[in-house]
Amino acid sequence: MLDALQALDLDKFLPYRLSVLAALGHSTHLTASEVSRRIVMDKVAVSRAVAGLTKRGLVERATDRNDRRRASLKLSARGRAMHGRIVPLALAYEEKLYQVLDPAERRAFDALSDRLFARTKTLRADPFMR
């Protein structure tokens, strides 16, 4: 099992790329740092995912004219088309997963997930917890 974990190439790991596509599909003209904060993912991992998505023609990068170090990201036409195909599939899969939970369990799961997600943001902001 350890060999499989060591072989994981985050640059090509689909969940990372899909998270970036989802963030950019929801909000346009975000920087890699803003995407990183929204999906609570390391900025280096986001930058790698963006590089792969850009190479595939799914994401476009525009340099800020006032600050050449800042680049905003947006989905290309091809990226928007892929996003449009993926979202219904992801939502249908999510619905199938949640069918095993009754409404009270779903609410409890959502509340616990929200707490864990909030905690990841807190831990990420604390330099001693990294």
Which DSSP string corresponds to 22-68? HHHHHSSSB-HHHHHHHHT--HHHHHHHHHHHHHTTSEEEEE-SS-T
pTM of the model: 0.71
Q: Does 122 score more than 90 pLDDT?
A: no
pLDDT for position 105: 97
The band of 29, judged by pLDDT with boundaries at 50, 70 and 90, is: confident
47 and 85 fall within a common domain:
yes
pLDDT for position 21: 86
Sequence-separated (6 or more) residues with CB below 8 Å from residue 79: 21, 24, 25, 53, 57, 58, 59, 60
Length of the chain in residues, anyone? Answer: 130
Q: Is 16 helix (H, G, I), strand (E, B) or coil?
A: helix
14 and 72 fall within a common domain:
yes
Report how many domains make up the chain: 2
48 and 112 fall within a common domain:
no
Per the structure, the complete domain to which residue 82 belongs is given by 2-90
